[in-house]
């Protein structure tokens, strides 16, 4: 490619081995592009005396006014088993609608990030709201690499500059465990979501703090993990009860998992809450109608969805990065 042929962002992208959107954002000093990539792209532009054609750039970057909601469902389509996703999606849809944006739902393979290029480089969406609970950081890395605007439900890594909304996970874990301790429970199991997710680690930290303050030594044998699905909750409960049949309480990291955990507890001949008390997390609509109704940590899921939408649009318009932590509260019902 000769110097004279370097006329467009696409030409720079081919030389740099990146997407057109990455070149555009690098030349406009987007915080979503790493400094090393910016430096390399700017060097190529200077070397070839490249000047941005502003009208052409505006045309190529025309907004779709559509945001992608990225999730991997536990089944082929959304169902009651994906109730958390449905409830937060409702909040996101409301937030986007108020700002004149549409929502596109993308179900992705947790092991594949090809969707990021497929939807962003073609201009089908202006940004992403990332909901995956498995290999989340793998997908975050893919979005950062292509310079895509996005917000995540959960806790961002310390070195990540992206919008996020999460509940107060440490306090939530402590509230749940403190409540069980006040009920006189001493052998309290912990059934978490994916062990490598920061929000799960924070809930575990709250659990550990509550035990420590009560003078109860944490027993690693009482820790089990799943993926927030009801099926994984049942499997984790079976493993826990095999190892610790005398467990007298369980703190479960999601309502959907907790419903299945209670099924397993009853199958083993235990009464809830007399023999085993259960506290869960999220306060989804199902929690009030489970058997028995779930004591759970509420983190206002519909509000979280609305904030994920509003803060991403604010970022698109102003470049302002926001990290919001939603307060949590314990809702006491019959399971504990």
* Stretch 220-227: mean pLDDT: 96
Flag whether pLDDT at 84 surpasses 50.
yes
Domains defined for the chain, CATH in brackets: 3-60 (1.10.260.40), 66-166+302-326 (3.40.50.2300), 169-298 (3.40.50.2300)
H or E segment to which residue 225 belongs: strand 223-225
Which is more confidently placed, 70 or 80? 70
Name the band, by pLDDT with cuts 50, 70 and 90, for residue 3. Answer: very low
Which pair of tokens denotes residue 13? 């992208």
| Sheet of strand 127-130, all strands in order from the earlier edge strand to the far edge | 102-107, 66-71, 127-130, 150-153, 163-167, 323-326
CA dihedral for 137, 143, 146, 148, sign (positive or negative): negative
Cα–Cα distances in Å, from 174 out to 79, 94, 168?
Answer: 30, 31, 10
Q: What pLDDT was estimated at residue 273?
A: 98
Provide the pLDDT for residue 9.
Answer: 79
pLDDT digits over 182-197, tens only? 999 999 999 999 998 8
| DSSP string across 253-297 | S-HHHHHHHHHHHHHTT--TTTTSEEEEEE--GGGGGSSSPPEEE
Tell me the per-residue pLDDT of 166-185, one tens digit each, with 9 for 90 and over: 999 999 999 999 999 999 99
The reported pLDDT for the residue numbered 156 is: 79
Burial bucket for residue 210 (CB in 10 Å: 0-12, 13-18, 19+)? buried
**Stretch 36-47: mean pLDDT:** 86
Q: Write the DSSP symbol of residue 98.
A: H
For 284-331, write each residue's pLDDT tens digit: 999 999 999 999 999 999 999 999 999 999 998 888 999 999 999 999
pLDDT band of 99, cuts 50, 70, 90: very high
**At residue 262, does pLDDT exceed 60?**
yes
Other residues' Cβ atoms within 10 Å of the Cβ of residue 284: 25
Average pLDDT (46-63) is 58
The owner of tokens 């904030």 is 307
Taking each helix axis as running N to C, give the angle between helix 301-318 and helix 83-98, from 0 to 180 degrees, rounded to the nearest 10: 40
User: What is the model's pLDDT at position 52?
Assistant: 56
**What pLDDT was estimated at residue 133?**
57
54-66 average pLDDT score: 57
Query: CA angle 37-39-42, nearest 5°?
Result: 105
């Amino acid at each position: 490619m000769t110097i004279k042929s370097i006329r467009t962002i696409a030409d720079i992208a081919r030389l740099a081995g990146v997407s057109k959107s990455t070149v555009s954002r690098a030349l406009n000093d987007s915080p979503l592009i790493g400094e090393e990539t910016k430096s390399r792209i700017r060097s190529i532009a200077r070397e070839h005396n490249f000047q941005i054609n502003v009208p052409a750039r505006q045309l190529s970057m025309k907004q779709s006014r559509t945001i992608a909601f990225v999730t991997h469902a536990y089944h082929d389509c959304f169902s009651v088993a994906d109730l958390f996703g449905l409830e937060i999606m409702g909040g996101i849809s409301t937030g986007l609608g108020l700002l004149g944006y549409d929502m596109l739902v993308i179900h992705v393979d947790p092991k594949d990030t090809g969707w990021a290029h497929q939807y962003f480089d073609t201009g089908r969406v202006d940004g992403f709201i990332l909901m995956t609970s498995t290999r989340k950081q793998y997908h975050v890395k893919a979005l950062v690499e292509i310079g895509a605007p996005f917000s995540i439900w959960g806790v961002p890594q310390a070195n990540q500059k992206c919008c996020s909304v999460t509940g107060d996970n440490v306090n939530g874990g402590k509230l749940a465990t403190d409540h069980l301790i006040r009920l006189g429970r001493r052998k309290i199991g912990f059934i978490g979501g994916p062990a490598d997710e920061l929000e799960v680690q924070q809930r575990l930290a709250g659990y550990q703090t509550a035990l420590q303050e009560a003078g109860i030594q944490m027993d690693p044998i009482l820790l089990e993990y799943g993926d927030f699905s009801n099926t994984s909750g049942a499997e984790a409960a079976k493993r826990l009860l095999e190892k610790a049949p005398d467990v007298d309480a369980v703190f479960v990291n999601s309502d959907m998992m907790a419903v299945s955990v209670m099924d397993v507890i009853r199958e083993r001949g235990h009464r809830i809450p007399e023999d085993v008390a259960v506290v869960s997390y999220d306060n989804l609509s199902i929690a009030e109608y489970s058997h028995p109704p779930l004591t759970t940590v509420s983190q206002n899921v519909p509000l979280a969805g609305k904030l994920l939408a509003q803060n991403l649009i604010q970022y698109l318009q102003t470049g302002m990065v926001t990290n919001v932590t939603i307060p949590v509260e314990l809702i006491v019902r019959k399971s504990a």
